[in-house]
Amino acid sequence: MIKPKRLQAGDRVQVIAPSFSLDLIEDSVIYKAEQVLKSLGLQVTYGRYTRDKGWNDAGTIEHRIIDLHEAFADEEIKGIICADGGYCANDLLKFVDWDLIQQHPKVFCGYSDITALNHAIYTKTGLITYSGPMICTFGDTVDNTMTIEMFRRAVFEDTAYELESSTRFIDDDEVDEAKRKINTNSGYWSINEGKTEGKILGMNLSTFRLLQGTEYFPNISGAVLCLEDDYEYQIHHFDRDLQSLIHLPQFNQVNGLVIGRFETLSNVSQDQIIEMVKEKKELANIPVVANVDFGHTNPKVTLPVGGKLQLEVLGKNSRLKVSLD
């Protein structure tokens, strides 16, 4: 396992677009994201091809790889922030220079479709990466205080940090400002009580599943799986993809399950999640908690892929504590 060096004020971070193009993000959102990162003391620069956009709303594989490699190779760049998610980050995996990444470890952050890169990097190099905010997140028009603070704790500080539970949230994918609804958050949903710890793996379930059966899929033995998905995913989609993970031979050594909050647009209810979990006998003996602040709602926490999660599921008093080891 390789721990990336902590960011500090004055560091330069590079924005790249391994999936959807930066060109899809409004200039006002990019500007706000820059101001947020600068408020943390960071200098913000951009890869050469971040605004490329082809048939799939992304740059070519060649150009996306160039930006990825240049960002890791440049010693002046201390961290890499992805622009957005999308559908095509796993296009890149056969072309990544894993030795280059291993020799130049640094903070790499993104979520959603970037899950493919998060876990491929961890599997092939041992480098801990971060499932957390991107430019589209930092530039959100709602109050981002909790998102920013959770990111700061994850990538600036050496100490373990406890995940907070937000009091309200909005969906990522409701882009019409006039329709954006602020929802009250009911806190963590305790499903199976217990205490455990393990390495953090999983995140965006449909993207994580793309790696199954490939050389890029991590060993999930000893993991606390943290799984979420977006509004396109309804409960039956989540159920069958979760079941596919349960069928893996390593699953009987998974230590716990944490389910991220679903967007309201997905129409997934607390009762559905509880019923789904309780029906699976393979989950009966591990702690399970849901409605945690990661995934496709804001605010969101930052999780180190390959880091450690201490999990206590104790009704209303559930606690989740994160560290790099």
> Annotated active-site positions, please?
112, 228, 296
Residue 264 carries which DSSP code?
G
CB 79 within 8 A of CB 108: yes
The packing angle between helices 235-246 and 270-279, to 10°, is 30
170: its two tokens: 């909005």
The sheet with strand 189-192 has its strands ordered as 161-162, 319-323, 308-313, 194-204, 223-228, 256-260, 288-292, 189-192
For residue 158, what are the β-bridge partners? none
H or E segment and range at residue 38: helix 27-39
Concatenate the DSSP letters of all residues of 269-298 into one string: -HHHHHHHHHH-GGGTTS-EEEEES-SSEE
What gap in Å lies between CA 24 and CA 52, rounded to an integer? 10
Q: Is the peptide bond before 299 cis (omega within 30 degrees of 0)?
A: yes
199: its two tokens: 């390495």
325: its two tokens: 């080891």
Residue 178 carries which DSSP code?
G
Nearest to 67 by CA among 84, 50, 87: 50
